Amino acid sequence: MTDTPLFKVSGFSKFYGNRIGCKDVSFELWPGEVLAIVGESGSGKTTLLNCLSTRLMPTAGSVEYRMRDGQFRDLYHMSEAERRFLMRTDWGFVHQNPADGLRMTVSAGANVGERLMAIGDRHYGKIRETATDWLTRVEISTDRIDDQPRSFSGGMRQRLQIARNLVTGPRLVFMDEPTGGLDVSVQARLLDLLRGLVNDLGLAAIVVTHDLAVARLLSHRMMVMKDGYVIEHGLTDRVLDDPREPYTQLLVSSILQV
């Protein structure tokens, strides 16, 4: 089935009153493919991501998702319960601010284990074992399993949020500026870790970032947004090495100057 897209977006728009959030976006995402959405602040990246992941209602357009049974379903013609089930099982959502994606006052182990319980795991010993394994995979010392993320550094919190999202074996993960709030030194390690996990698990991902270095490291393809429109779309190396649109050329050159 890998010759079939996982996600098909067509004529997608979101308006806030008269203001454009995003307009006329169409693309397909393939299994195991990482798509970066880049653009400056206010270009519509978060709006698009939130609409695609059904956290916001679009004004127009459709998104079809290929379910595990191979059938395409329109996300906006599903019941709320079906959408929530998808969110809990097949999808992950990594927020820029880990506090938005974690429960800060329950233990690290419970943050990971909770997602397993939500899909029906009941065996305490097994849940704890899987949680321990995932803490190791995201490089959190297992002696922190009973600590609350409140006591963790920003980087540890973000790694815990990633473990919480990946533990259920999702097929698609949405990420909004996953390294955005972190120190530069911490960002590099987290990116490495993310790249390894995404490769190992064969995950498809849609990653919003204003940082072209993140797009370069993580993504196969990228879309450049400006004022709500996708103005350039192509393989990441092609777009970054040979940008066609003057606006993309500006974006790329401004990063080369730093």
> Toward ligand ADP, which CB reaches closer, 90 or 177?
177
CA distance 253 to 256: 5
> Toward Mg ion, which CB reaches closer, 45 or 221?
45
Q: What is the 8-class DSSP label of residue 60?
A: E
* Of 13-21, 101-109, 115-123, 197-205: span binding ligand ADP (CB under 6 A): 13-21
> Toward ligand ADP, which CB reaches closer, 46 or 161?
46
Amino acid letter, residue 238: R
Binding site partner of 47, from ligand ADP, Mg ion, none, Cβ cut-off 5-8 A by kind: ligand ADP
Q: Nearest distance from residue 49's CB to ligand ADP, in Å?
A: 8
Q: Which two tokens stand for residue 217?
A: 């490291």
Residue 21 sits in the site that holds ligand ADP (CB under 6 A): yes
Question: In degrees, to the nearest 5, what angle opens at C-alpha 158 toward C-alphas 155 and 162?
Answer: 140
Strands (E), 2-138: 7-16, 19-29, 34-38, 60-66, 72-74, 91-94
CA distance 68 to 48: 24
Binding residues for Mg ion (CB under 5 A)? 46
Q: Nearest distance from residue 176's CB to Mg ion, in Å?
A: 6
Amino acid letter, residue 163: A
Which residues from 184-213 bind ligand ADP, rule CB under 6 A? Answer: none
CA distance 34 to 171: 11
> Toward ligand ADP, which CB reaches closer, 45 or 115?
45
Binding site partner of 219, from Mg ion, ligand ADP, none, Cβ cut-off 5-8 A by kind: none
Q: Which two tokens stand for residue 205?
A: 């991902």
- Which of 18, 19, 70, 258 forms a contact with ligand ADP (CB under 6 A)? 19
CA distance between the termini of the chain: 43
> Toward Mg ion, which CB reaches closer, 46 or 111?
46
Which residues from 37-76 bind ligand ADP, rule CB under 6 A? Answer: 39, 41-47
Amino acid letter, residue 202: G
Q: Which residues bind ligand ADP (CB under 6 A)?
A: 16, 19, 21, 39, 41-47
